[in-house]
Amino acid sequence: MDLGWLVSTVSRALAFGVPLLWGTLGEIYAERSGVVNLGVEGMMILGAYAGFAVAQTVGVPALGLLAAAVVGAAAALWHAFLTVTLRANQYVSGLALTLFGLGLAGLLGRGWEGKPLRVPLGAITVPGLAEIPVLGPMLFVDQTILTYLGVLLAVILWVVLFRTRWGVVIRSVGESPATADSLGINVTLVRYLCVALGGLLAGVGGGYLSVAYRPSWTEGMTAGMGWIVIALTIFASWDPLRAIWGAFFFGALYHLSFRLQAYVSPELLKLMPYAFAILVLAVSGFGGARWRRRAPGSLGIPYVRGER
């Protein structure tokens, strides 16, 4: 493998990994507070539609991404209302959100397909850094601002989660909401905020797809990315920094599954990224107590004061 291979693989891994990274960071926060949200796919597609519709109407891609964030957060609040306030089953509500999002975006998107976005979010060249041999073309050209913001965000979210009081609050709500409650923490508020943040970031991930990655709208364009996000959340063991590696590693596998077709059976390669996801889930299941201990203790369990 010469350097050209390495450069293009890393560069594509970053570009493809962006929506996965944003989505995974969001899901990590939601799950850290104890709420599983299987609605990532639905929030992403709503974000993709809203992002495209606004960017196309206004002509400003940044506003499209803002709209994607707002819509993603709004969709997540619905999930929060059902699961935190009404204590509905989190898995059922999340699945419903995915189906609802795909359906609604498809309906609203009628008439928007077949039109390229007027002003897409363009790739940037990082001044100075782009000149570095090998590393420059690998990391600092052909990426949108969302690649770098995503990595920065991951670092910030890691610091907040593990080095601040807020992080302790979020993690304690996810581990043992009864204990947190008895310490005077507003469990409902924390869960609402974390789930909303999750939707916001998933919305941006979806908006990236329709505003930057492939600047146009087509129904169902997220094509299962939301589910990869769910797997990556577990792979990252609910750690924002590991999400960076997870998302970009998956991106590299995905790109290589096309790149290597000249040498390896395409059917096998097609399976590779997903086989990896299954492997991760299997390892996390069998890998026993250590991995399971990393999962938030009350994940998936609605909190009712006074019940255990």
Partner 1 sequence: MNVRKLWLLVAALVMGGLLAMGADKIKAGFIYVGPIGDYGWTHAHDVARRIVDEQYDWLETVYIESVPEGEVETYIDQLVRQGCNVIFTTSFGFIDGTFAAAQRYPNVIFAHASGFKRAPNMATYMADFYQVYYLNGLMAGALTKTGKIGYVGAFPIPELKRHISAFTIGVREVNPTAEVHVRWIYEWYNPAAAKEATEALIAEGCDVFAFTEDSPTVIQVAAERGLASFAHYSPMYAFAPDYVVSGQLVHWEVIYDDFLVKVHEGVYTNKNLTHVDYWWLLAQKAAELGAEIGMPVNPQYVAPLQGYVIDHPTFGRISVYDLVFVRYNQMADPGITFDPFEGPVYDRKGNLVVPAGMWMSYDHLITMEWAADGVVGPWPGEP
DSSP bridge pairs for 124: 143
In the complex, least distance from residue 151 CB atom to partner 1, rounded to whole angstroms: 20
Binding segment (CB under 8 A) for partner 1, from list 93-101, 104-112, 125-133, 284-292: 104-112
Task: Report the C-alpha gap between 296 and 308 in whole angstroms.
Answer: 16
Contact 89, 217 (CB under 8 A): no
Which of 100, 106, 167, 227 binds partner 1 (CB under 8 A)? It is: 106
DSSP bridge pairs for 143: 124
* 223 is an interface residue for partner 1 by CB under 8 A: yes
In the complex, least distance from residue 38 CB atom to partner 1, rounded to whole angstroms: 20
300-307 own/partner pairs: CB under 8 Å, 24+ apart: 300/34, 300/35, 300/36, 300/90, 300/91, 301/34, 302/83, 302/84, 302/87, 302/88, 302/90, 303/34, 303/84, 303/87, 303/177, 303/178, 303/181, 303/187, 303/191, 304/87, 305/178, 305/181
In the complex, least distance from residue 204 CB atom to partner 1, rounded to whole angstroms: 16
Q: Which of residues 251-270 bind partner 1 (CB under 8 A)?
A: 254-255, 257-259, 261-262, 265-267, 270
Task: Report the C-alpha gap between 94 and 91 in whole angstroms.
Answer: 5
- Between 107 and 135, CB nearer to partner 1: 107
DSSP 182-214: HTT--HHHHHHHHHHHHHHHHHHHHHHIIIIIS
Which of 3, 59, 99, 113 binds partner 1 (CB under 8 A)? It is: 113
How many positions of this chain bind partner 1 (CB under 8 A)?
35
Q: Which of residues 195-214 bind partner 1 (CB under 8 A)?
A: 209, 213-214
Instruction: Output Rg (C-alpha) for the chain, integer angstroms.
Output: 19
Which of 35, 121, 221, 295 binds partner 1 (CB under 8 A)? It is: 221
- Between 81 and 249, CB nearer to partner 1: 249
In the complex, least distance from residue 217 CB atom to partner 1, rounded to whole angstroms: 8
Which of 149, 216, 227, 300 binds partner 1 (CB under 8 A)? It is: 216
In the complex, least distance from residue 49 CB atom to partner 1, rounded to whole angstroms: 10
* 146 is an interface residue for partner 1 by CB under 8 A: no
Which of 66, 195, 225, 243 binds partner 1 (CB under 8 A)? It is: 225
First and final CA of the chain: distance in angstroms? 56
**Which residues lie below 8 Å from residue 279, measured CB to CB, with a gap of 6+?**
none
Q: Which residues bind partner 1 (CB under 8 A)?
A: 4-5, 8, 12, 16, 106, 109-110, 112-116, 209, 213-216, 218-221, 223, 225, 254-255, 257-259, 261-262, 265-267, 270
